[in-house]
Structure 1
Amino acid sequence: MKNILFVASECVPFIKTGGLADVVGALPKSLDREQFDVRVIIPNYMAIPERYRNNFEYVSHFYMDLGGLGSVYVGILTYQLDGVTYYFIDNQYYFGGPKPYGDIHWDIEKFCFFSKAALSILPTIGFHPDVIHCHDWQTGIVPVFLHTLFKDNPFYHGIRTIMTIHNLRFQGIWDIPTLKLYTGLPDWVFTPDRMEFKRDANMLKGGLVFADRITTVSDTYAGEIQCEFYGEGLDGLLRAKSGTLSGIVNGIDYDIYNPATDKDIDTQYSTRNYLKGKAANKAALQKELGLPEDPDTMLIAMVTRLTDQKGLDLVNWIIGRLVESRVQLVVVGTGDPRYEGLFRHMQDVEPDKVRAYIAFNEGFAHKVYAGADAMLMPSLFEPCGLTQLISLRYGTVPIVRETGGLRDTVQPYNEYEQTGTGFSFCNYNADEMLFTIYYAEQTYYDNRKAWNNIVKRGMQQDFSWNSSARKYEALYNELCSL
């Protein structure tokens, strides 16, 4: 039996702000229980729903030195769910707010605390991991601590580390004196070949330097981040460590995202009755949103954070021309006020064609996945993307830019060979995107049989965690044999 420890800042179903939480929630329970004892450590946020927090069990508590900040309280709570043991680091000073993240300065201090506490509780809970799997910048200094402040403690000998990049844009950067204060790490760590980054300290870079293996969430993104455009200043380091870097595409939880059993949607369906099921959900969605209930009008959706990364500047450029065609557009998400304003304005100008749902509600998102005909994802970069995987599962045809995980998971439609699961365009260009949308519209209106086959092929894809979990298992086994 090999011991695997996940350390992360969020995890479904306890706390979620993005796809990271889905991965940390789904991957541990997808691993082979006969081979791996998998446990997860996250913060005990006050924002975790009370139906979970009220059932957490107290394990222990102690006080821990945190650099120049002195002695701080570390509480340990535990909870079992779906055969996985979860530990929650308790400290209301750090985790008592209404949401998991605040301003970056505060976040850096609390995740320095969390990272050191996650290592410090291991003797108390009696768990010696063979591999610690760290996720994103919030846990980047776990491998750094392991190779510095903890290296002389025999308990921590032989532990290997994996650093998974979910989004390279976020790195945990602050000035070196502050990071020294918060961590107590030695001066030699803050050099250009380790944590120093443009005269500041970079938590994610520390994790990438000290980890035994680096993974990211798709094969294409693993290659892209070694290039200057996508590398966010770390492309040189990632090229240097390319021998230990690999991409493993994310999966989705097929128990949660299953149109045959989903209680949030109007009508359950599968590949056997997807035409009727999609039609019923589309009618229900149009009615709920107050759009004209027209079964024949193509309904395009976007379920996304409203940021530049997601290609919203391209949408802004073409949206006037897009709504001149026979489509309805539904946008679900929050983010940059200028994009929230754009879609609200378009809803006012084109009330029969555009709906802006400027909020995020998981249940409503399921209704959109089930009711839309197509899902638009024109991302500037997309490490993996879960929206297109969920869309395929629900028979909603993705229209994507060929980047990162979108390129790896959506096969472009080929009308001559009658293959493909979606539509894609290559260059980050608004007119190229619009041409691709028009091509999808043409297929939808003029060749409905081909469109329906695209839908069915998409629903038949397997993007559950089954295949990805096997790849992680192979990586864990490899590390354990070093």
Structure 2
Amino acid sequence: MKRKIRVLFVTAECCPYAKVGGLGQISGSLPKKLGENIDIRRVTPLHRSSFIDFKYKIDFPVKIGDKFETCIVKTASNEDIPTYFIANDYYFNRDKIYSYFDDGERFLFFCKAVLNMLKNIPFKPDIIHCNDWHTGFLPMFLKKDGYEGKTIFTIHNLRYQGSIGNEYLEELSLDEKAKLGGDYVNFMRAGFLYSDVVTTVSESYAKEIMKDSSGMEDIIRDKNIEIKGILNGVDYENYNPSKAGELEFPYNIKSIENKKKNKIALQRELNLENADVPLIASVTRLEDYKGIKLIYDAVKALDKPFQFVLLGTGNYYYEQMFKNLCENMKGSAAAVFEYDEALAKRIYAGSDIFLMPSLYEPCGIAQMIALKYGSIPIVRNTGGLSDTIIDYKDKCGNGFLFNEYSSEELKNKISEAIEIYNSTKWISLIKNAMSCDYSLEKSALKYLSLYKMILE
């Protein structure tokens, strides 16, 4: 193919317009890297959080069940990567991106709207790259509509699968409905069943899915699917402690002494005592699978001098737990319950140890960011955490791994890290961490190779 490959990247969230987690982060950064070599566009819902200038492109009706809803397609001006926004106030002009009773209907509308949009714009992609369950029905609609290109379906988290009553998909036969789940058809199953290639966001998570497919076993067996793992990466143009104007004291591997200055600045900002003790941090969503209860129990049980900082939003119950913890540890603990990227970077820069004890973690980006900032990760041995963190032994390694999902094992690993923090080995461990290269360029090259391969 002499011309550039044309790709449409389909996602439910995209930074900086709307972001909940890793999907939004990678949807914002990966297409930009890919755009250096291919003609790539994005399409995403127009969520309420998207505050930019838009241009009207087209509109059309979309049939959802026994009614029609209007889709307005808009584009953003001054974009590095052209992005189409699927606008409908009823479905997407809401306070949150997810967690509504009608999420199935909302993202079925999104899939159908993208299909209709493709019939009304001049851009004709060779590959349509769908991301996570919200896009799962799009490969099916494309195949039934005679699309001649290729589809890729990337799983970001298999635990979230999406479903909707089968009456919304009256065009399917009874046999097709049965394959997709029966009375409630499953978005994720559709993505597996109708895509040309299935990928996920780390090699270890791909292996985990093949062992425990969360209801996809029959499709994987019947289609002989081999899930390809491509590790997400970090945009070092955005996350870099040496970048001017973001930290009070920029630093790199040759000026690690400035990291301590950032720690003092963070202690001052969050009303922590100016103490030379390990500062332990977590930047996370307050959800069960992120190991939040483990962090709480381990921090409470630690019997060594330390400080603790938490930044995150989510479960109100966990917010109250950590508020009480901070009250009982005044001057030694702080929690901020919001998403603030600038503060997150100051926490990465000012902290010594970074906790990520997830029950499962398809990829994880926070631990890779922490490495770049020299905040030593303590992570559970699962998914993408296993692919990026090497347990520190005899001067080798970039962090700490533990296996059992328990607060006791997490506490023991923190204690082990604190012992090394108080030794001459700590600086060499920071250098090991900061030397790691998990750049987004590596991910982009692997996706580019995949795009070329499936078009051969």
Q: TM-score, normalised by structure 1?
A: 0.90
Residue 429 of structure 1 corresponds to: 406
Across the two proteins, how many residue pairs are aligned to each other? 453
The answer to whether the aligner puts 1:14 opposite 2:12 as a matched pair is no
Q: Which amino acid aligns with 1:461?
A: C
Q: CA shift at 1:27, angstroms?
A: 1.0
Matches within 5 A, 1:448-459: 448=424, 450-459=425-434
| Aligned counterparts of 2:56 and 2:313: Cα–Cα separation in 1 | 36
Query: CA–CA distance in 2 between the matches of 1:320 and 1:240?
Result: 49
User: Structure 1 residues 265, 185: CA separation in 2 closer, same or farther (over 3 Å shift)?
Assistant: farther
Which amino acid counterpart does residue 128 of structure 2 have in structure 1? Answer: I
Aligned to 1:277: 258
CA contact (8 A) 1:11 1:22 kept: yes
Q: Which amino acid aligns with 2:300?
A: G
Q: Is the 8 A contact 2:47 2:92 kept in 1?
A: yes
- Native 8 Å contact 1:264 1:364 kept in 2: no
Residue number in structure 2 paired with 1:196: 181
Q: 2:152 aligns with which of 140, 150, 162?
A: 162
Change (3 A) 1:319 1:350: same
Identity %: 38
Q: Deviations over 1:270-300 (max 9, x none)?
A: 11212x2211110011111111111x20000
Shift of 1:422: 0.5
Asked if 1:360 is matched to 2:339, the reply is yes
* CA distance in structure 1 between the partners assigned to 2:284 and 2:43 by the alignment: 28
Question: Aligned-pair distance for 1:82?
Answer: 5.4
CA distance in 1, matches of 2:240, 2:67: 49
How far off its partner does 1:123 sit? Answer: 2.8
1:390 CA drift (Å)? 0.7
- CA distance in 1: counterparts of 2:410 and 2:374, whole angstroms: 21
Question: Structure 1: how far apart are the matches of 2:415 and 2:375?
Answer: 16
**1:387 shift after superposition:** 0.6
- CA deviation profile, 1:119-152 (whole Å, cap 9, x unmatched): 211132112211110011110100111122x13x
3-state DSSP class of the match of 2:120?
helix
Q: Indicate how the Cα distance of structure 1 residues 95 and 243 shifts in structure 2: closer, same or farther if over 3 A, else same.
A: closer
- CA-to-partner distance for each residue in 1:374-401, whole Å, 9 max, x for gaps? 1011110000001101101111110111
SS in 2 for 1:292: coil
Kindly provide the amino acid, as one letter, of the partner of residue 211 in structure 2: C
Whole-angstrom CA distance in 1 between matches of 2:436 and 2:112:
41
Any idea what SS the aligned residue of 2:82 has?
Answer: strand
Q: CA RMSD in A?
A: 1.8
Superposition pairs of residues 67-466 of structure 1, within 5 angstroms: 67-79=64-76, 83-103=80-100, 105-148=101-144, 150-151=145-146, 156=147, 158-177=148-167, 179-180=168-169, 184-191=171-178, 194-196=179-181, 199-228=183-212, 231-238=213-220, 243-261=225-243, 263-274=245-256, 276-294=257-275, 296-322=276-302, 324-415=303-394, 418-445=395-422, 447-448=423-424, 450-466=425-441
CA–CA separation in structure 1 for the residues paired with 2:442 and 2:77: 25
Partner of residue 479, structure 1: 454
Q: Does 1:40 align with 2:42?
A: yes
Question: Given residue 292 of structure 1, which amino acid in structure 2 is its aligned partner?
Answer: E
* 1:235 Cα deviation from its structure 2 partner: 4.4
| Secondary structure of the corresponding residue to residue 334 of structure 1 | strand
Q: Deviations over 1:230-256 (max 9, x none)?
A: x33334544655643111010111111
Aligned counterpart, 1:57 = 55
1:352 aligned counterpart, secondary structure: coil
For 1:307 and 1:469, locate their aligned partners in 2 and report how far apart those are by CA, in whole Å. Answer: 29
Q: 5+ residue gaps in structure 2?
A: none
Give per-residue Cα distances to partners, 1:198-218, cap 9 Å, x unaligned.
Answer: x53111111111111111111
Contact 1:180/1:186 (CA < 8 Å) preserved in 2?
A: no
> How far apart in 2 are the matches of 1:433 and 1:300?
13
The C-alpha deviation readout for 1:287-330, integer Å capped at 9, x for no partner, is 11111111x200000111112101123234333222x2111111
Q: Is the 8 A contact 1:45 1:97 kept in 2?
A: yes
Task: Tell me how far apart the structure 1 counterparts of residues 310 and 142 of structure 2 sit (CA, whole Å).
Answer: 44
Distance 2:217 2:346 in 1: 39
Alignment partners' CA distance in 1, 2:361 and 2:221: 19
Unaligned ranges ≥5, structure 1: none
Q: Against the structure 1 CA distance between its residues 8 and 271, is the aligned structure 2 distance closer, same or farther, given a 3 Å change threshold?
A: same
Question: Could you tell me whether the CA contact under 8 Å between 2:298 and 2:411 is conserved in 1?
Answer: yes
Q: TM (normalized to structure 2)?
A: 0.95
**Could you tell which deviates more after superposition, 306-315 or 360-369?**
306-315
Does structure 2 retain, via aligned residues, the 8 Å contact 1:298–1:328? yes
**Kindly tell me: are residues 236 and 429 of structure 1, through their superposed partners in 2, closer, same or farther at Cα, counting changes over 3 Å?**
farther
Q: CA deviation at 1:79?
A: 2.6
Call closer, same or farther: CA 1:302–1:176 in 2, change over 3 Å. same
Given that 1:297 and 1:328 are in contact with CA atoms closer than 8 Å, whether structure 2 keeps it comes out as yes
